[in-house]
């Protein structure tokens, strides 16, 4: 395992030009995230969390400033180069899961592999996908379609998809936004397990009690970092789940 | 570079929407099937016309009574008789290179034997007629030059006439009453089937033209004269000589129109196949329109699909898909729909032509080239109509696509 910082933002600005007005969504953010960290990015709605995540996720480029990902400056790469970086180094988990409908969990997880540099046989694809699905507790559900899975299970498929290419960083924008509180804690449990395996996780949330599962919280306001601190009273998902009364015995 | 994966991705996407894929391909299936069947009908008609013209015989010149219009269509078919028996004899005697001549008169009338009767066509010809037409007998013997000279009451009959009058009996040697004159049947022609106009060529009685003029048709003029030239290279010269001979015999002064029409086989063939070629093009283009409509159907569905799958496209881009991967995916989806539709359409088109041939008795001819062209065209339709939606998908911004509701 490499050490040192995996994400390094240096005085990053992002300005949107809409009509006559300029929206300064991010204004001068500098941030370093070490390998193996679990960071929750917090702040009120409109504070620039998603904009910053899009830059960290190489979906967007900063208006000014530098972004160094895994020791390589990616601030000035073109569309296709950014796509390759996303494929090799990043894994995405979305608020609304974004699974392909009418497609099995396995085929959903295979998706990033299909856009990778290495051609894999169908058997290799299947083997990799099934292994990652098993690691998020979905062994036996490989052939289920999203419509046959609960919200929590769908989000686990999405996490498996984010993990299948062994990313440097897993990025999650409001991963629990569409989930009930119990399922949210389960997903945090999976993130904590992944983080135990030294996987770097950056997660956007506006909920205090979700951010408490992370190791470090970064709070934004008006496009700037307001606070940046380590979580002292960290929640442990396994313990919290034990406290919550099992409402439905189905799981 | 990732063609295999992209193909895989596109086929998975099509499988996800089976019903829609099938319905979209249906437009192309119908279009291609229509093109294959229509061009098959056109080519079949053309081939039949060609075969029929070849069956006129080798190196044949036809001389008809009456003049022609500028478009080459004769006026007054068998009408104002200007050709005389002596004209035919003069041609036989004076035009170099002539191998055979048959004077022809035609009539339709009732024929009978026992208590059976039948309405059929009577052809009066010379003894050379069957050689010129290359039309052998299946049974019996032809009438002879002597029969022609003596205007004997003999005839040969086609298969249809034979079965209508004599049923299963052997007609050779039997009596056939034509306008109450008893003729002896000396032979039966080999069957030829329907002509392009749908006329049963086996529904016929052929007899010496002398007998026909004397006892059946009446009159003293010929409808036409069939001339066969021994050497194909002499046809043009012979045609010229026939024209000047007949003008001289008919006392036509310089500057006046002919009162007869001379056509060689090639001219007749060209005129007839030109018509069927026009028909083929016409049928093919009408069917081609439905293929284009099928292509627009593909474009329509692909555009709907791009809009509907905006989030999917955003997700794929977030997972590392290049714009070119998305473009290829949608293009392959479109081309797969159109070319699989094309293959199915070809099968249906061949089936439809076969049904038309066997039930409606339309001749159809499906060439390998029309199959290849239809397939290439359907694939091209997919590329052409798939490109715009595919480019639209590839140009999407990943962030906006992911945020699309
Ligand atoms: N594509 C865009 N065009 C214009 N303004 C935008 C765009 N995306 C975000 N913004 C604006 O930038 C600011 C920050 O948005 P965002 O990063 O989505 O905040 P958060 O995720 O913290 O709610 C908001 O004022 C928002 O309206
Ligand atoms: Mg947001």
Q: Would you place residue B1 in the very low, low, confident or very high pLDDT band (cuts 50, 70, 90)?
A: very low
Q: Tell me which of B7, B314, B318, B404 to substitute to probe the interface with A (most A C-beta atoms closer than 10 Å).
A: B318
3-state DSSP call for residue B114?
Answer: coil
Q: What is the mean pLDDT of residues B58-83?
A: 68
Q: What is the pLDDT of residue A247?
A: 57
The pTM score is 0.76
Q: What is the pLDDT of residue B2?
A: 58
Q: What is the pLDDT of residues A194-209, one digit of tens each?
A: 999 999 999 999 999 9
- Under a CB-based contact definition with an 8 Å cutoff, are residues A118 and A110 in contact? no
A88 lies within 8 A of chain B by CB: yes
Q: What is the pLDDT of residue A248?
A: 54
B183, β-bridge pairs: B176
Q: Minimum mean pLDDT among A82-91, A237-246, B167-176: which range?
A: A237-246
Q: What is the pLDDT of residue B77?
A: 46
Q: What is the mean pLDDT of residues B362-383?
A: 89
DSSP characters over B204-247: EEEEEHHHIIIIIS-SSEESEEEEEESSGGGHHHHHHHHHHHHH
Q: Minimum mean pLDDT among A117-131, A203-217, B284-298: which range?
A: B284-298
B68 lies within 8 A of chain A by CB: no
- Under a CB-based contact definition with an 8 Å cutoff, are residues A115 and B2 in contact? yes
Q: Would you place residue A115 in the very low, low, confident or very high pLDDT band (cuts 50, 70, 90)?
A: very high
Q: What is the mean pLDDT of residues B125-141?
A: 92
Mutate to test the pocket of ligand 1, among A12, A51, A203, A221 (most ligand atoms within 8 A of CB): A51
pLDDT of residue B217 exceeding 70: yes
3-state DSSP call for residue A10?
Answer: strand
- Extract the tokens encoding B81: 């008789």
Instruction: Supply the residue whose CA is at minimum distance from atom 7 of ligand 1.
Output: A16
* CB-CB neighbours of B131 under 10 Å: 16
* CB-CB neighbours of B4 under 10 Å: 12
Q: What is the pLDDT of residues A16-30, one digit of tens each?
A: 998 889 999 999 999
Q: Give the nearest partner residue to A86 out of B8, B312, B320, using CB atoms.
A: B320
Phi/psi zone of residue A97: left (φ > 0), alpha (ψ -120 to 50 degrees), beta? left
ipTM of this complex? 0.94
pLDDT of residue B182 exceeding 80: yes
pLDDT of residue B284 exceeding 90: no
Dihedral angle, C-alpha A158, A160, A165, A166, nearest 10 °: 120
* Alpha carbon distances (Å) from B192 to A199, B124, B168, B171, B198: 86, 19, 19, 18, 12
Q: What is the pLDDT of residue B109?
A: 92
Instruction: Supply the residue whose CA is at minimum distance from atom 12 of ligand 1.
Output: A25
Q: Would you place residue A100 in the very low, low, confident or very high pLDDT band (cuts 50, 70, 90)?
A: very high
CA of A25 to the centre of ligand 1 (A): 6
Ligand 1 site residues, Cβ closer than 6 angstroms: A 16, 18, 23, 25, 43, 45-51
Q: What is the mean pLDDT of residues B275-290?
A: 85
A111 lies within 8 A of chain B by CB: yes
Q: Give the nearest partner residue to A84 out of B5, B9, B320, using CB atoms.
A: B320
Tell me which residues have their CB within 5 A of the ion that is ligand 2.
Answer: A 50
Mean confidence (pLDDT) of chain B: 88
Q: What is the pLDDT of residues A52-89, one digit of tens each?
A: 999 999 999 999 999 999 999 999 899 999 999 999 99
């Amino acid at each position: 395992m490499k050490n040192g910082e995996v994400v390094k933002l240096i005085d990053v600005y992002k300005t949107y030009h809409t009509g006559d007005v300029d929206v300064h969504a991010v204004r001068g953010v500098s941030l370093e995230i070490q390998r193996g960290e679990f960071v929750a990015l917090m702040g009120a709605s409109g504070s620039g969390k998603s904009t910053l995540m899009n830059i960290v996720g190489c979906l967007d480029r900063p208006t000014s400033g530098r972004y160094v990902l895994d020791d390589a400056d990616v601030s000035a790469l073109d569309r296709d180069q950014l796509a390759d970086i996303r494929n090799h180094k990043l894994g995405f988990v979305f608020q609304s899961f974004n699974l392909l409908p009418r497609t099995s969990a396995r085929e959903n997880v295979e998706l990033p592999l299909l856009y990778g540099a290495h051609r894999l046989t169908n058997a290799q694809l299947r083997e990799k996908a099934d292994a990652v699905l098993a690691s998020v507790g979905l062994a036996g559900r490989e052939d289920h379609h999203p419509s046959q899975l609960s919200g929590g299970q769908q989000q686990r498929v999405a996490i498996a998809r984010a993990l299948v290419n062994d990313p440097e960083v897993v990025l999650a924008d409001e991963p629990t936004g569409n989930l009930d509180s119990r399922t949210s804690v389960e997903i945090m449990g999976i993130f904590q397990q992944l983080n135990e395996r030294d996987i770097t996780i950056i997660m956007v949330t506006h909920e205090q009690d979700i951010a408490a599962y992370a190791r470090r919280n970064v709070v934004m306001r008006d496009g700037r970092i307001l606070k940046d601190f380590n979580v002292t009273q960290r929640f442990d998902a396994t313990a919290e789940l034990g406290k919550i009364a099992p409402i439905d015995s189905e799981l | 570079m990732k063609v295999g994966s992209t193909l895989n991705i596109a086929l998975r996407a099509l499988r996800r929407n089976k019903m829609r894929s099938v319905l979209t391909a249906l437009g192309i299936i119908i279009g291609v099937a229509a093109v294959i069947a229509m061009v098959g009908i056109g080519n079949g008609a053309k081939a039949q016309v060609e075969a029929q013209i070849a069956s006129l015989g080798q190196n044949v010149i036809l001389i008809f009574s009456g003049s022609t219009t500028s478009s080459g269509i004769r006026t007054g078919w068998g009408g104002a008789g200007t050709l005389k028996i002596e004209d035919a004899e003069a041609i036989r005697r004076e035009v170099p290179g002539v191998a055979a001549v048959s004077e022809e008169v035609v009539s339709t009338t009732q024929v009978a034997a026992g208590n059976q009767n039948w309405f059929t066509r009577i052809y009066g010809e010379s003894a050379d007629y069957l050689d010129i037409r290359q039309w052998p007998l299946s049974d019996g013997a032809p009438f002879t030059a002597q029969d022609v000279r003596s205007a004997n009451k003999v005839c040969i009959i086609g298969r249809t006439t034979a079965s209508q009058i004599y049923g299963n009996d052997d007609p050779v040697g039997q009596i056939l009453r034509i306008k109450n004159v008893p003729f002896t049947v000396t032979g039966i022609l080999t069957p030829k089937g329907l002509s392009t106009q749908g006329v049963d060529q086996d529904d016929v009685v052929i007899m010496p033209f002398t007998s026909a003029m004397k006892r059946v048709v009446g009159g003293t003029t010929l409808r036409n004269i069939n001339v066969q030239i021994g050497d194909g290279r002499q046809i043009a010269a012979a045609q010229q000589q026939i024209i000047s001979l007949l003008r001289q015999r008919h006392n036509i002064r310089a500057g006046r129109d002919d009162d007869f029409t001379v056509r060689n086989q090639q001219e007749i063939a060209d005129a007839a196949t030109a018509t069927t070629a026009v028909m083929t093009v016409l049928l093919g283009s009408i069917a081609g329109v439905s293929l284009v409509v099928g292509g627009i159907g593909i474009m329509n569905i692909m555009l709907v699909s791009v809009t509907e799958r905006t989030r999917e496209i955003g997700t794929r881009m977030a997972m590392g898909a290049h714009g070119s991967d998305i473009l290829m995916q949608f293009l392959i989806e479109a081309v797969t729909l159109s070319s699989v539709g094309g293959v199915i359409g070809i099968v249906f088109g061949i089936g439809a032509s076969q049904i038309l041939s066997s039930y409606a008795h339309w001749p159809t001819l499906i060439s390998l080239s029309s199959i290849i062209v239809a397939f290439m065209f359907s694939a091209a339709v997919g590329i052409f109509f798939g490109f715009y939606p595919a480019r639209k998908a590839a140009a999407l911004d990943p962030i906006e696509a992911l945020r699309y509701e």
